[in-house]
Structures are given as structure tokens and as C-alpha cells.
Amino acid sequence: MDRHSNAEIATSSVAPTEDLKLLAEFIEQLPEAQPLSDCSLGFPVQYRGYRELLTDWLALESARFHKIGTSVAGEPLWMVEIGNPKAPNVSVAISGLHPIEWIGIETAYGLARLENKNPSENRKVCFFPLANPDGFRDVEANLRARKRRWVRSNRNGVDLNRNWPTHFRASRGLVAGHNASGPAACSEPEVAAIVDTLDEIAKHANLDIALSLHSIGNMILMPWGGVWKSPVAREQHMRVARTLKERLGPYTIRQVSRWVPGVSFAHGMEIDHLHQAYEATAILVECTRGEVDALRPSALLNPFRVFNPQNGRERGARIAKALEPFLRGEL
Ligand SMILES: [Zn+2]
């Protein structure tokens, strides 16, 4: 990401229309595709594909759009703001770091719809709705071709939830593309663009709330992932996590590094950085249990089905409703 686009973000509240046009033009040149929910793909896919998703984001009339960079394969990366542009407090929601985890992406859209209807007056919410667009497009192409593939990384084979600066540790991962960190923190353009944007936001406002949306396990996760010790604001995280659990249902609360003692260290995670660099209360939600259907064991062989419930749009909207007060700073 170049410094010019940073400067644009700093002044974007004055002239936010430029990138709205850019997004509209970008969508216009994407090939028209039948909505996935209307396709016969072997199982119901009630999710938005790339063009449909961007079109629906674009239709949020309170939203301000910013192109913050480009992916490895050259896809635009977007940041979407809703709420008072000059608010002293900022919340951040990131989705799609792991590209097969579409329920997290639908949940982010659900949150944006809620914010759009009722924008905060004393807070700005910044969404990074599709952190890994190349991976997302690969997943969509696989679905349309009925290929059962698991996509975890970006086009460089890097897990974008191991590439953040805090507690970064270079690792190739156990299996190609699984937990591979990349050669250095922010080596990947997708993570670098988000971190640069957040750094810029944090110069002008108090970035105090951060939510990252993932897919599988019904979990509310808190920092740290990279070290054993407790997070700086453990009590605050626990309080938020317990309230979210009351709202979400049977979810498990964990500190990532203590999930499986000695085994579950995750270096270079987003929530560690969001908490360390900006002192945000940083929560990662694994949105659903995972669709492990005992009656249809064949679903287990389909990674998309394992990671995403069937009724994605409706589930995403429901989870969003439960998470909304946290994102609005009301917890
Ligand atoms: Zn994930």
C-alpha cells in the first residue's frame, strides 16, 4: 500500500465518494454470474458470491468505501466505514482472512446492515469485509466447478492469520498453506494494507474495539495466541466474552494460547496485534459449530460444508444481531 492512499483515508471523511465510484466500476466489470443460491451445486449454498457480495455492500447507503490496497493477484482490498466519520472512538471488524470461512463474511455483512440502519453518532465502525479476496474467489470457483477443495491461505500460500506483527514467528506451517506465516510480518499485501490503514486510523482516533470473524468451533477467543501469559486487559475481555456468550448461546470462551496447553500457540494472529498495537478489546469469534452432520457423513468430505452452515445468510444475520452491541461499544 502506498502512502498516498493513507493520506486519502485521513481526509476521506471529507470526500468519500471517490472510492464509491471505484467500487461501482469494479463490480460493473466483473462477469455476471448466477447467484450461488440459485445454482445446483450438489448441496444448497445460501451464500453470496464475489459479485453479489460486493454489490450488496455497495448498496449500504450509509457506508463510505475506501480502496486500501490490492491482493497478491491484483484484486482491490476495501475498507468500509459506517458511523460518524469524526467520532473519537473506532471499532474494527475483519472477516475473510481464512477464505473458506464464509459464515464469518456473511456475519460481517449482517453487522454492516445493522450499522447502516442505525449508524452510531459517537463511533465509527470500520469493516474489512473481504480480507482475502483471491482465496474467496478460489472458493467460489471451486463451488461452481463442484470441486471439494480446502482453501486456507492467500495466493502466496501464506495463512493471513499468522502474518501480523505482534508475536510473529516465521514458520512454514505443518502442511502447505496451513499456518504458514510468510517470510516476515506484513509480508503479504492483504495484511500490510489492513495494518497500514489501522495505524492511520489510530493516529486520529481511539481504536478500542476489534472483532475478527472466523468460522468453525462455536468459540469466543481472546488474546494472546502467541504467548502463554494473560492479555493486558484480561478482565475486560472476559467480561465481554461472557456477555457475548449469553447472547450467542453454547459457545466456549478461550485464550487462544491456552486452548490446548503447549500446543495451540498461534503466532502472528490478528487479535494479538489488535490488542497489543492499539490496546483494543480484541475478540475472535468462531461463528458456528461447523456443519458436521451425522446423518450425512459425506458432508465431512466437503470442506465448504464442514466450515459453513447451510443457511448462511440467515445464520450470519442472526449472529450479527448477537454481536452488534459489542461492535457499537455498548458492552
Ligand atoms: Zn479461521
**For position 121, what pLDDT does the model report?**
94
Report the separation in Å between the CA atom of 272 and the middle of ligand 1, taken as the mean of its atom positions: 14
Report the separation in Å between the CA atom of 289 and the middle of ligand 1, taken as the mean of its atom positions: 13
Please determine, looking at this structure, whether the domain spanning 3-327 carries the CATH number 3.30.70.2610. Answer: no
Report the separation in Å between the CA atom of 157 and the middle of ligand 1, taken as the mean of its atom positions: 15
Report the separation in Å between the CA atom of 93 and the middle of ligand 1, taken as the mean of its atom positions: 14
Report the separation in Å between the CA atom of 101 and the middle of ligand 1, taken as the mean of its atom positions: 6
3-state SS track over the chain? CCHHHHHHHHCCCCCCHHHHHHHHHHHHCCCCCCCHHHCCCCCCCCCCCHHHHHHHHHCCCCCEEEEEEECCCCCEEEEEEEECCCCCEEEEEEECCCCCCHHHHHHHHHHHHHHHHCCCCCEEEEEECCCCHHHHHHHHHHHHCCCCCCCCCCCCCCCCCCCCCCCCCCCCCCECCECCCCCCCCCCHHHHHHHHHHHHHHHHCEEEEEEEEEEECCEEEECCCCCCCCCCCHHHHHHHHHHHHHHHCCCEEEEHHHCCCCCCCCCCCHHHHHHHHHCCEEEEEEEECCCCCCCCHHHHHCHHHHHCCCCHHHHHHHHHHHHHHHHCCCC
What average pLDDT does this structure show over 228-236? 94
pLDDT at 48 over 60: yes
**For position 84, what pLDDT does the model report?**
96
324 — pLDDT class (breaks 50, 70, 90): very high
**For position 4, what pLDDT does the model report?**
43
What average pLDDT does this structure show over 9-32? 77
Question: What are the tens digits of pLDDT across the range 61-91?
Answer: 999 999 999 999 999 999 999 999 999 999 9
Report the separation in Å between the CA atom of 62 and the middle of ligand 1, taken as the mean of its atom positions: 29
